[in-house]
Structure 1
Amino acid sequence: MARRPQRRALDPAGPAALLPPLPPAALLPAAPPPPALLPGPAPGAGGAVLLAEVLLLLLRGVCPASPPAACPSAPCFCFSTPDTDQCRYLALHAPPQGLPEQVRNLSILGGNLTLLPGAAFAGGWRGEDDGEWTGDEDASSSSCAPRRPLPHLRVLLLTHNQVEVVEGGAFAGLPSLSVLDLSHNPLQSLSVSAFAFCPHLRLLRLNHALLSSPDTLLQEGSLANLSLTRLELRGNRLRDAPPGWTLPPSLRDLDLRNNSLRGVKGQRLDSFLPLPALRLQLTANPLDCQCASLRPLLRWQSNATWRVADARNLRCNSPARLKDALLRRLRPVQLGCPPNEDDDEEEARGWGLLDTSREAPDPQLETASYVFFGIVLALIGLVFLMVLYLNRRGIKRWLNNLREACRDQMEGYHYRYEQDSDPRRVGSGDL
């Protein structure tokens, strides 16, 4: 008789005891699972054991195991990937410290970061609290290197944080930073060396951030030595474009939408000569459609229409007779420029005006054209019906003649068939 194998006693901790320990409870986004799922299974409860293992693995995936200092000291939202941290609408009075070195995206929204000191996101300058720091030292020297640099941080979003002062080297310790957003902050002081330690910065957003003194903050030269390709300055009440010498030579897109520009002065456009690939965006500005205000801009983009990316959407705000009129549909005479007789249209096309080939047609004109086309088709149909009515007798006679001709033809075919089928007409050779 075969011996039945003995059943081994199960470990009271179950397979869950073989898993590594969980991270601290502070890093978990939700409460731990119910205790009823954690103890070892009773006999016949294999499904519960499997469910417990799956839950534990999922919990480890939501917040991976890391030291307690992985998240900053201030409350933050932990995500499933260790390279993203977010702090939203928290009482932050200073940049968060203790960020992990592998973080790549940092978003702080709704804080109260009125001052961004040097190396604000890298733990400050080394030796600053040890008596070794002096304000006259060069920030690039080794004695004042950032304490905890973040070499992988690429995206830094700091919108709605009440930032007023940005000191020199505020973003030191972030060598890979490529996107920086300081929009919706009441900036009052922007140091010349504020972005000095950002060699790979490509996109800078300063939308609604220069309302206090936009011209002064831009002309301090804090952007000239950067490698920017796009600069956004929307909603800053700018009355003129920033001069070319304050912009980096690599700049390609300058967003000036939703400002107070009535035009662009010729001197400012001449300063853009060192920026051969620069494109402007000027929508939602109160443009003054007069010759003195717009002639420099129109001549600047006459040989390269791509220089004003949204030229098709530009509308006039003044004078009153041209309010909301599309700029591309106007003539130089309508702008108040001296008439040039026969060369008026040629000059207008040289300025990029009268270009309606790619514009959407007027809806009213399009509707009127469809109505006219329908009326023409209705008249043609009516004439055709009248012709048929007036010639009804002739048409009826023609149909009768056609029917009689078809009948005679069919009778001839029938007669030939009957003659061919008569057996008395079969020849002797066919028998």
Structure 2
Amino acid sequence: MARGRPLSAAVVAAGLVLLALLVPSGGPCAAPCFCFATPDTLQCRLGRLLEPPADVPAAARNLSIAGARLPVLRAAAFAGGWLGGSAGPTARPLPALTLLLLTHDAIEALEEAAFAGLPALATLDLSHNRLRDVAPGAFAGCAHLRTLRLNQALEARDAAGLARLLDGALTNLSLARLELAGNRLRELPPAAALPPALRHLDARNNSLQALDAAQLDGLAARGRPRLLLAANPLRCDCAALRPLLAWLRNASEAERAPLRCAAPRALQGRPVARLRPSQLGCPDDEDEDEEQGALSPPETASYVFFGIVLALIGLVFLMVLYLNRKGIKRWLNNLREACRDQMEGYHYRYEQDCDPRRGGGGGGGSGDL
């Protein structure tokens, strides 16, 4: 679905919620509706979902809400906090909930402690929304949150706007994976706005043309998370691509292989990892340094590795020969003696067979006399 395209009225009215728990005892829900499945009951009701559900079973593990209209998520939105206590059932946490998917829900703002009451939450998907305001403590209480998906969800285009949007919201988390694909970002988020324990940053399908050296240095100082940059219009000139080439020296093949140049026209479609300084128009006085840091093609690296392996095998073989030189010399002497004995025996038999006095022809002559 294209970004910003409004959902159909049927989808919004449906507010489809699938709660994956134990196998329910009743039959499947009829769409459009949302279902709560527990070991004893299966509820299915029609209606427009304009606010978070308040009657989620306490044993729920996975909750998915798609196509609703939830512009603002207030404190403890999924633990009944928005009810205000006396307006409905007593607010209660969901201690077993580990997966929360909120896609295509027109979410624009996350208030303080929006996900309070979800202490076990490990994966949160807010993709395909329109986030314009995220409170610094929006994810407070989510100590076990490891994966956060914000694909096509942010109303920010540059590092400054993204920093303002996520200011303080992520730094206190223990995120291992952050997905920012499809947000038309022109810059990577500053390292200071990212969780210190981040190990995977997905920035694919954005508008990144060049990468700032300070941003990459900040990521390197935080343990070099895996950085995915495929489907970005990278500009392949010396000034723009130099920091990325330095980063890719220690990157995995999965990070390097999908990267292609979008400009200039002469290099359009060329793999970034195969470029050389001479192709980027780098000044002559910097060519030597760039050649030392340039990425070697995978084929060259494979041949070098194969050569090193063969050299090690040869070295081991020579070492074995050296350590067993006395035994090898004794074996060669024994072999030479055996060959000499064999040849002498063969020579002796040959001489006997060639002697006419030892043949059978002499006996016939004496018989004629």
**Count of aligned pairs:** 273
Contact 1:180 1:204 in 2 (8 A): yes
Measured in 1, the distance between the counterparts of 2:242 and 2:298 equals 17
Cα offset, 1:353, TM superposition: 4.5
Measured in 2, the distance between the counterparts of 1:153 and 1:83 equals 19
Deviation digits for residues 307-351 of structure 1, max 9, x if unmatched? x8421121000001111111122211111112369x75x844633
Question: What is aligned with 1:305?
Answer: 251
Measured in 2, the distance between the counterparts of 1:85 and 1:204 equals 29
Cα offset, 1:117, TM superposition: 0.5
Cα offset, 1:352, TM superposition: 1.7
Q: 1:151 to 1:116 in 2, by over 3 A?
A: same
The percentage of counterpart residues that share the same residue type is 46
Q: Does 1:77 align with 2:24?
A: no
Question: What is aligned with 2:235?
Answer: 288
Contact 2:181 2:206 in 1 (8 A): yes
Q: 1:267 to 1:212 in 2, by over 3 A?
A: closer
Which of 103, 112, 116 aligns to 1:172? It is: 116
Task: Give the match's secondary structure for 1:313.
Answer: coil
Paired letter, 1:103: A
Question: What is aligned with 1:316?
Answer: 261
Paired letter, 2:294: W
Task: Give the match's secondary structure for 1:352.
Answer: coil
Paired letter, 1:263: A
More off after superposition, 90-99 vs 313-322 = 90-99
Q: Does 1:209 align with 2:177?
A: no
Measured in 2, the distance between the counterparts of 1:252 and 1:245 equals 15
Paired letter, 2:147: L
User: What is the TM-score when the length of structure 1 is the normalising length?
Assistant: 0.57
Cα offset, 1:84, TM superposition: 11
Cα offset, 1:189, TM superposition: 0.7
Measured in 2, the distance between the counterparts of 1:86 and 1:297 equals 52
Report 1:274-423 matches (<5 A). 274-302=221-249, 304-306=250-252, 309-339=254-284, 347-348=290-291, 350-357=293-300
Question: What is aligned with 1:412?
Answer: none
Which of 100, 104, 128 aligns to 1:184? It is: 128
Cα offset, 1:86, TM superposition: 10
Contact 1:174 1:198 in 2 (8 A): yes
Cα offset, 1:358, TM superposition: 8.0
Q: 1:83 to 1:116 in 2, by over 3 A?
A: farther
Question: What is aligned with 1:40?
Answer: none
Measured in 2, the distance between the counterparts of 1:62 and 1:113 equals 27
Q: 1:217 to 1:347 in 2, by over 3 A?
A: closer
What RMSD, in angstroms, separates the aligned Cα atoms of the two structures? 3.3
Question: What is aligned with 1:29?
Answer: none
Question: What is aligned with 1:147?
Answer: 91
Q: 1:270 to 1:262 in 2, by over 3 A?
A: same
Contact 1:83 1:102 in 2 (8 A): no
Measured in 1, the distance between the counterparts of 2:293 and 2:44 equals 51
Contact 1:330 1:353 in 2 (8 A): no
Runs (4+) off by over 2 Å = 60-64, 77-87, 128-131, 211-219, 346-351, 353-359
Question: What is aligned with 1:221?
Answer: 168
User: What is the TM-score when the length of structure 2 is the normalising length?
Assistant: 0.66
CA radius of gyration, larger in: 1
Listed as ranges, the gaps of 5+ residues in structure 1 are 1-59, 65-70, 132-145, 360-431
Which of 205, 208, 229 aligns to 1:261? It is: 208
Task: Give the match's secondary structure for 1:259.
Answer: coil
Contact 1:90 1:111 in 2 (8 A): no
Contact 1:82 1:103 in 2 (8 A): no
Contact 1:189 1:217 in 2 (8 A): no
Paired letter, 2:264: P
Q: 1:106 to 1:214 in 2, by over 3 A?
A: farther
Measured in 2, the distance between the counterparts of 1:84 and 1:188 equals 36
Question: What is aligned with 2:343?
Answer: none
Deviation digits for residues 275-328 of structure 1, max 9, x if unmatched? 1141100000000001111101212333x233x842112100000111111112
Question: What is aligned with 1:194?
Answer: 138
